Structure formats: C-alpha cells, structure tokens
Amino acid sequence: MQKAWFYEEYGPKEVLKLGDFLIPTPLHNQLLVQVQAAALNPIDFKRRQRPIFPSDFPTVPGCDMAGIVVGKGGAVTKFDIGDEVYGNIQDFNAEGKLKQLGTLSEFIVVEESLVATKPNNISFEEAASLPLAVQTAVEGFKTAGFKEGKTVFVVGGAGGVGTLVVQLAKNMYGASHVVATCSTPKVEFVKSLGADEVVDYTKTRYEDIEEKYDFLYDTIGDCKNSFVVAKDEALIVDITWPPSHPRAVYSSLTVSGDDLEKLRPYLESGKLKALIDPTGPYTFGDVIEAFRYLETGRAKGKVVIFPFPSHHLPSCVPSESKNKITSEMFSQKLSALSPALNAVE
C-alpha cells in the first residue's frame, strides 16, 4: 500500500483526506515512478471544487511530479529503472477521463511519452515545479506565432505561469522588450526574472501606459482591461477560460515529455530557472495548507510539495538489477517495504 491525498466529493480543501491506496502496476508504455516532489496548479483545486475534467472518485489530485523510475511496462523503450524523470502526468488533451491517481501519492504510473529525464543540475523540487506551467507558457508563444525581436507585455509576471513566460520571452524567444505586471512586494522579484520593465498594477492603470506591444500574454484573465496595451494588430493570448475579451485567443497546454526535453539546454545553462514559492516547499503532510495558500491567488512562482514520506527510504530496487527487474519482482519488494512506508507517515 501507499499513502495518497484524495477526495470523494467536490468541495473546498477540507474534502481532502489522507489514505491508503494500492500501488499501481505499470502497463505497456507506462512507468511506475516513486514520487520525490510534486507541485500544485490552480487546475488541481478547480477540479476539486467542481466537475471540470471527468475523473472517478476517489480522486487523487496532482499533475506535476519529479521522481525515480522503479518499474516499467513491457513496451517502454526510453527509460530504465533508477532514471530520474519529471513531467505532467495528466494529459488534458487526450480523450476520456483523467487519471484517478494523481501526483499527491507516493507512487504513480505515467506513459513514458509524458515525461523527460530530469536535468542533473536541478533538484527534484525544482523539476516538479515546472511541467504544467512551462508547457502552458510555451504553448502561448506558439499560439501567438511569436517572432524574435517583438515586444511582449505579460499580465501576471509573478505567478506559476507568468514567471516562466517572462524568462522564456527574454531567454528563449528573443523578445526585444519584456514588460510584466505584479503587485508592489513582487516588483524586484519580477525584475530579477529578466523583465525590462515591471508595472506595479496597484499604482498604474493599463490606460496610463503609453507604449503599445506586439504580443499581450495575459496569465490572469484580465484581457477586458489589459487589451488596451496591445497594438491594433497584436495577438492577445489568454490562458483562462473563457477568454476575457473578444480579441483574446485562448491557449491551452500541450502535455509532452519531448517538449520538456527541448527545454533541457535552457535549464542546464540557467537561462530558465524553476521558481519555488518561498513559503514552501510544503511537506507531504502539509498539502491542505499548501492548497490554502495557492487558493489565495498570491503565489510567487510555484507551490511545491516536498519531501514525500518515502523520500528517505532506500531505493526499492537494487542497482545491479537494473534493466532486469520485472514489475512482479518490484511488487514483492514493495510488499516487504509496506510497513516501513506506513511507519514513515
């Protein structure tokens, strides 16, 4: 058995409970991953509050994780036992229901196409903070058909997605000038991400900004007000649904391990940094508090869950067995460890 956070009815964070779940078996192209760190996203609490994306109860929330491969299905080709991987395990674009077992559990199964190898220079906490937010951030630039040398105005530069949009604009997409908005206490933080200018929205109204921009990337769904800073021919991207202005185009993430792999050079060179909210990381036991904080809408970067109960346990799989282990052998190892897993929590 393993520990996981779950809910059996829609509602506020109080519907979350901690319980025992079976450790899943990886089938075909799936990996079994021992989660080392996870990150929360607004979709995790929106799904809990009302039936947006169908999934069965009990639902274990969580899309993002970084962890260690401890088992694999017979059709897996890219990864081996012991590999350190990260990814968003929920493919929102796929037909059917989302996975019932999300990443707020000690062990998850995920299709190998959805994960990438964790760069060695970033921690599990940093890696877990990236997938869903960075996949969203990248997709916005693709939706806009963004071209190097253009100017960008980012609404909400301090949030989980916005911190990555600012960095990608400067360091990956070659924007000539990047402006981002946030509240007073976060101005220096957003400057440190590489923004050329930061607009404190508590002091300056969009109408008072004279310059007009080639691309308006709105991460908070305020296009009905922010559209005034966009040039007449500018593309306006809104990542909230429904888009908040007739000119705004909704952009949704593409969930792909290959897309994460393409970011490797930027992560390895430090041009793209994972930003973990300084109130965290929150321990596995503090998940409800982590949701309370995320739900205030004031997160600075990403809300991360670390460590997990099994973090300090020795690997379930001896290294000499690499490539030879079967999921049956792995289950036996886990049964032997079950009392320890329970004791840690």
Ligand X SMILES: NC(=O)c1ccc[n+]([C@@H]2O[C@H](COP(=O)([O-])OP(=O)(O)OC[C@H]3O[C@@H](n4cnc5c(N)ncnc54)[C@H](OP(=O)(O)O)[C@@H]3O)[C@@H](O)[C@H]2O)c1
Q: Rounded CA gap, 151 and 247, in Å?
A: 18
Helix (H, G, I), strand (E, B) or coil at 222: coil
Between 153 and 308, name the residue whose CB sits nearer to ligand X: 153
Q: Rounded CA gap, 176 and 209, in Å?
A: 18
Least spacing, CB of residue 341 vs ligand X, in Å: 31
Which residue of 16, 23, 35, 43 would you call a contact of ligand X, by CB under 6 A? Answer: 43
Q: Binding mask 277-316 vs ligand X (x if CB under 6 A, - otherwise)?
A: -----------------x--xxxx----------------
Which residue of 113, 240, 279, 331 would you call a contact of ligand X, by CB under 6 A? Answer: 240
Q: Residue 48, Cβ neighbours under 10 Å: how many? A: 21
Task: Please choose, out of 27-35, 100-108, 219-227, 316-324, the segment that lies near ligand X by the rule CB under 6 A.
Answer: 219-227
Between 136 and 310, name the residue whose CB sits nearer to ligand X: 136
Which residue of 25, 123, 252, 321 would you call a contact of ligand X, by CB under 6 A? Answer: 252
Closest Cα to residue 317, out of 301, 329, 305? 329
Q: Rounded CA gap, 148 and 247, in Å?
A: 22
Q: Binding mask 1-40 vs ligand X (x if CB under 6 A, - otherwise)?
A: ----------------------------------------
Which residue of 183, 332, 335, 342 would you call a contact of ligand X, by CB under 6 A? Answer: 183
Q: Rounded CA gap, 165 and 195, in Å?
A: 10
Task: Please choose, out of 18-26, 116-124, 156-164, 305-313, the segment that lies near ligand X by the rule CB under 6 A.
Answer: 156-164
Between 254 and 331, name the residue whose CB sits nearer to ligand X: 254
What per-residue string of b and e applies to 99-131 under the rule 16 or more CB within 10 Å gives b? bebbbbbbbbbbbbebbbbbbeebbbbbbbbbb
Q: What are phi and psi of 23, to 5 degrees?
A: -75, 125
Q: Are 168 and 78 in contact (CB under 8 A)?
A: no
Q: How far apart are the first and last CA of the chain?
A: 12
Instruction: Give the footprint of ligand X on residues 103-142 (CB under 6 A).
Output: 132-133, 136
Name the residue with the smallest CB distance to ligand X.
159
Which residue ranges make up the site for ligand X (CB under 6 A)? 41-43, 132-133, 136, 155-156, 158-162, 181-183, 186, 201, 219-220, 222, 239-240, 252-253, 294, 297-300
